[in-house]
A and B are shown apart, each in its own frame.
Chain A
Amino acid sequence: MRVEFFSSLYEIAAKDDRVILLVSDTGALVLDKFSQDKPDQFINVGIAEANMVGVAAGLAKSGKIVYIYAIIPFVTMRVFDQIRVDVCCDNLPVKAVGVGAGMDYSTLGPTHHALEDIALMRSLPQMTILSPCDSLSSAAFAQLSYETPGPVYIRLERYTESPVYSNPSEDFTDGLKILRKGGDLCIIATGRMVVTAQKAADELSHRSIDATVIDLYRIKPLNVELLTKAISGLKVVATLEEHSIIGGIGSAVSEVIAESGQAFQFKRLGLPDRFCRQYGTRKYLHTLNNLDASQVTSTILQMLK
Chain B
Amino acid sequence: MGENIVNLEKKAKWVRNQVLEMCVGAGAGHIAPAYSCTDILVALYQGDILRVNPQNLAWEDRDRFILSKGQGCASLYAVLADMGFFPISELSSYTRLGSRLGGHSESNVPGVEAFTGSLGHGLALGAGMALAAKMDRKDYLAFVLLGDGELQEGSNWESMMFASHHHLDNLIAIVDRNSLQALDFTEQVLTLDPLTKKWEAFGWEVRTADGHSYDSLLSTLGDIRSRQSGKPLAVVALTTKGKGVSFMENSPIWHFRIPVGDELEQARKELA
Contact = CB atoms under 8 A, between A and B. Distances in A.
B136 A48 contact: no
Contacts of A56: 128
Contacts of B113: 61
Contacts of B118: 81, 85
B180 to A, nearest CB: 24
Contacts of A106: none
Main secondary structure of the interface of A (DSSP, over half): helix
B124 A55 contact: yes
Contacts of A46: 158, 161-162, 165
A61 B121 contact: no
B115 A85 contact: yes
Contacts, number: 98
Interface of B: 64, 107, 113-118, 120-133, 135-136, 142, 154-155, 158-159, 161-162, 165-166
Given A48-B162, A50-B155, A63-B132, A58 B124 contact: yes
A215 to B, nearest CB: 35
Contact of B132 (A52, A59, A81, A85): A59
Contacts of B121: 54, 81-82, 85-86
B162 A61 contact: no
A27 B165 CA distance: 20
A90 interface: yes
A284 to B, nearest CB: 37
B125 A57 contact: yes
27 contacts: A45-B162, A46-B165, A48-B158, A48-B161, A50-B124, A51-B155, A52-B124, A53-B124, A54-B127, A54-B128, A55-B124, A55-B125, A58-B127, A58-B130, A58-B131, A58-B142, A59-B129, A59-B132, A61-B64, A61-B113, A62-B133, A64-B135, A82-B121, A86-B121, A86-B124, A89-B107, A90-B107
Contact of A55 (B107, B127, B136, B154): B127
A89 to B, nearest CB: 5
Contacts of B165: 46
Interface residues of A, number: 27
B196 to A, nearest CB: 21
Contacts of B135: 20, 40, 59, 64
B125 A61 contact: yes
Contacts of B115: 85-86, 89-90
B48 to A, nearest CB: 23
A20 to B, nearest CB: 8
B137 to A, nearest CB: 11
B114 A51 contact: no
A89 B113 CA distance: 13
Contacts of B161: 46, 48, 51
B123 A54 contact: yes
Given A48-B158, A61-B113, A55 B120 contact: no
A50 B128 CA distance: 12
Given A54-B121, A62-B128, 12 more contacts: A46-B161, A48-B161, A51-B159, A51-B161, A54-B125, A55-B128, A57-B125, A59-B128, A61-B129, A62-B64, A82-B124, A82-B155
